[in-house]
Structure 1
Amino acid sequence: MALRLPEAPPEPAPAAAPDEDGLPGGGRAARRKAARRRQGRRAGGGQVPAAPEGGEEPEGPLSRVEARRRARARKPGAAAVVSRVVGEMFITTGVLMLLFVTYQLWWTNVRAHAQADQATSSLQDDWANGKRNPGAFEPGQGFAILHIPKLDVVVPIAEGIDSKKVLDRGMVGHYAEEALKTAMPEEKSGNFGLAGHRNTHGEPFRYINKLDPGDPIVVETQDTYFVYKMASILPVTPPSNISVLDPVPAEAGFTEPGRYITLTTCTPEFTSKYRMIVWGKMVEERPRSKGKPDALVR
């Protein structure tokens, strides 16, 4: 056989030019995929929008029924309402109690001190002008001034032991009712009985438990200073024990007639369950014309 030249190989088909996404063209599936990507970039500024967290689709507008259901779910339940009301009641009660305590422990003292100071000044002015004379006094009328130097007490003494007319006004009251009638200081024998608050309303007898035997107790009247010396104390006794006001109070240790003074007040503090009693014995009767006794000038 004769020789012949070799045949040239067939030229390969030209490759398809890559499209905009760098994918080779020519495939229908590839073109569709590239088209979807381009559409996604246009819608999201070049980025495919991220799905909501948790894979849930964003909610659309709520229906009226759903909106009402959710509004009811947000309202507090009956238990929450009750607990809120109870809490507000406790707060209100606490505020009212605080106001009451402030009134009792502070304001009553402020008012009583002012009333007692005014009564003392009025009494001293009347003495200076000669408007009062020794003798019988009307219930609630001031007639003397009590001095307890150790306790820095200077308080008017009024006739009677009525709470509203005497004791609550910051004054000390003289036992003058028939059943509990006691002597006056100028009498030559007897027991001058006095009552006063220990707490609130001026509390003139709050610290009489701190008196010691020999401490002076002075009663000042229009004409005379009557000086007593504290003799003894009875820390606790029932309110019914009126024998402490006897002309010769045996529980004080006195055995014979004399000129005595008895101070009575409530105990323990802030209660009226029992009474505390302090007794004294007169050691000096000094006319005002001779000046103040030593107990008031030291």
Structure 2
Amino acid sequence: MRPEREGGGEAAELADAVRRLDDPLSDPLPGQHPSPWFRAAQEEPQAEPQRPEPEPEWYDPDGYATDWYGGAQRPATPAVPQTPAPAPAPDPAPAPIPAQAPAPAPAASPASAPEPAFLPVQDDETVALRTADTRRAAAPERPVVTGGRAERRKAAKRGGGRRRAGAPPAEDGTAADDRPLSRVEARRAAKAAKPGAGVIASRAIGEVFITFGVLMLLFVTYQLWWSNIRAHNLAGSARDHLEDDWANGKRKPGSFEPGQGFAILYIPKLDVVVPIAEGISKTKVLDKGMVGHYGKDSIPTAMPDAKTGNFALAGHRNTHGEPFRYINRLEPGDPIVVETQDKYYVYKMSSRLNQTSPSNTAVINPVPVGSGFTKAGRYITLTTCTPEFTSTYRMIVWGKMVEERPRSKGKPDALVE
């Protein structure tokens, strides 16, 4: 050792060596490479290099901005290279560093740290404890096998054998546990899906009743609505033809053929104007909306121009024009008028029989039984069914002639008022 450093020189050398170190705690351990900040004792730096300003914690030394969870990085502007400081002149006799004060290895420099890579997205199921429920939820779904019989058998074996007896098959042809049905299970499911004999019979009976109900509805509609419209049209057409024949002189008083119109009936109180035809045929006369005269084809009665007798008429009370529907509203004295080719015959309503048997033909005798008439005269009798919409009984209305007026003199007062 040099003489000027004996005595207090060792302490000065040790202080000088410590001063030269950047960090006394970063001295290398024996056998390790020295830290980049370590400088040998003989190296005397002329000037300490200027350190850059410390960067924030979320910036790396290269200038890449990173988030706390390893997200995307942003490239920074390139750093300006710094000129290294000149090496210090070697000391001719460096003092050895005491071995009893080894400094720990310096921490890795931020500049030498590797660039942080993008962190992969971790599975949520691997970051926490897993219970039975989470394990069940994480279990892979069983694939659905749609192949042949061999594949179905293999899938059934992998699924734990045959389907449980209490688990019904699904509508798409798979079992309750999402596996395809075997041939036997498919046959059982098809057989269970087929309706039984009772179901088929009940369906057939239901269809029959529905069809019958529709037909009944159509029939009622025809009877109560369409038959009236059709009968009114036919009766109106017959009346027009009859009046045209009278105007042209084609009709002559006398006997008429069944179904042939020869007169017009007026009931002013009921607003009834309907043609009168010979006979009481349902299809040829009554169903066409006309009133029928009891003639030689049924029970002969007198004509209006007879000196004595009973002019008897029949008509529908319901359906097919229903000309006699409201004859029960007639009161004694109400006029009933019959128009023929030559004359008007005016009758006054006298009495009514609300109900009698259909076989009671005495009500249309020349002197009607039950009418209150006691001697021969010129009478009119109106007959119809009762109660309404049935033909169980007959209702009878009688009247007596009070006026005979030629058509050349105009209409009677009963039709003018």
Question: How would you bin the TM-score normalised by the shorter chain?
Answer: 0.7 to 0.9
Bigger-Rg structure (1/2)? 2
Instruction: Tell me: CA distance 1:70–1:254, structure 2 relative to 1, closer, same or farther (3 Å).
Output: same
Supply the distance in 1 between the matched residues of 2:178 and 2:341 (Cα, whole angstroms).
96
The one-letter code of the counterpart of 2:308 is S
Whether 1:101 and 2:188 are equivalent positions in the alignment is: no
The corresponding residue for 1:74 is 193
Supply the distance in 2 between the matched residues of 1:179 and 1:113 (Cα, whole angstroms).
25
Alignment of 1:251-290 (within 5 A): 251-290=370-409
Supply the distance in 1 between the matched residues of 2:227 and 2:357 (Cα, whole angstroms).
26
Whether 1:150 and 2:237 are equivalent positions in the alignment is: no
The one-letter code of the counterpart of 1:111 is R
The corresponding residue for 1:19 is none
The corresponding residue for 1:238 is 357
Higher strand proportion (structure 1 or 2): 1
**Higher RCO, Cα 8 Å, sep 6+:** 1
The corresponding residue for 2:43 is none
Residues 107-136 of structure 1: per-residue CA shift (max 9 Å, x gap): 211111111100000000111111111111
Unaligned runs of 5+ in 2: 1-122, 128-133, 142-163, 165-175
Instruction: Check the 8 A contact 1:231/1:280 in 2, yes or no.
Output: yes
Whether 1:208 and 2:295 are equivalent positions in the alignment is: no
Supply the distance in 1 between the matched residues of 2:366 and 2:239 (Cα, whole angstroms).
28
1:194 to partner: Cα distance: 0.6
Supply the distance in 1 between the matched residues of 2:261 and 2:295 (Cα, whole angstroms).
13
The one-letter code of the counterpart of 1:262 is T
Supply the distance in 2 between the matched residues of 1:153 and 1:170 (Cα, whole angstroms).
12
- Structure 2 length-normalised TM: 0.58
Whether 1:197 and 2:284 are equivalent positions in the alignment is: no
Supply the distance in 1 between the matched residues of 2:136 and 2:387 (Cα, whole angstroms).
82
Instruction: Check the 8 A contact 2:310/2:381 in 1, yes or no.
Output: yes
1:179 to partner: Cα distance: 6.1
Supply the distance in 2 between the matched residues of 1:287 and 1:278 (Cα, whole angstroms).
26
The corresponding residue for 2:94 is none
Instruction: Check the 8 A contact 2:280/2:298 in 1, yes or no.
Output: no
Residues 274-297 of structure 1: per-residue CA shift (max 9 Å, x gap): 111100000111111111111111
Residues 180-213 of structure 1: per-residue CA shift (max 9 Å, x gap): 2111111111110111111111111111111000
Supply the distance in 1 between the matched residues of 2:208 and 2:267 (Cα, whole angstroms).
46
1:48 to partner: Cα distance: 3.3
Instruction: Check the 8 A contact 2:294/2:301 in 1, yes or no.
Output: yes
Residues 225-251 of structure 1: per-residue CA shift (max 9 Å, x gap): 100000000111111111111111141
The corresponding residue for 2:306 is 187
**RMSD of aligned residue pairs (Cα, Å):** 2.1
Supply the distance in 2 between the matched residues of 1:118 and 1:297 (Cα, whole angstroms).
24
Aligned to 2:135, the other structure's residue is in SS state coil
Residues 19-74 of structure 1: per-residue CA shift (max 9 Å, x gap): xxxxxxxxxxxxxxxxxxx9x859xxxx634279xxx9944332122122122222
Number of aligned residues? 253
1:173 to partner: Cα distance: 0.7
Match among 121, 135, 141 for residue 48 of structure 1 = 135
Supply the distance in 2 between the matched residues of 1:172 and 1:137 (Cα, whole angstroms).
14
Supply the distance in 2 between the matched residues of 1:161 and 1:223 (Cα, whole angstroms).
24
Unaligned runs of 5+ in 1: 1-37
1:221 to partner: Cα distance: 0.5
The one-letter code of the counterpart of 1:287 is P
The corresponding residue for 1:126 is 245
Aligned to 1:256, the other structure's residue is in SS state coil
The one-letter code of the counterpart of 1:131 is K
1:253 to partner: Cα distance: 0.6
The one-letter code of the counterpart of 1:265 is T
Aligned to 1:48, the other structure's residue is in SS state helix
The one-letter code of the counterpart of 2:312 is G
Whether 1:162 and 2:256 are equivalent positions in the alignment is: no
State the percentage of identical aligned residues: 72
Supply the distance in 1 between the matched residues of 2:374 and 2:194 (Cα, whole angstroms).
81
The corresponding residue for 2:341 is 222
Supply the distance in 2 between the matched residues of 1:58 and 1:189 (Cα, whole angstroms).
100
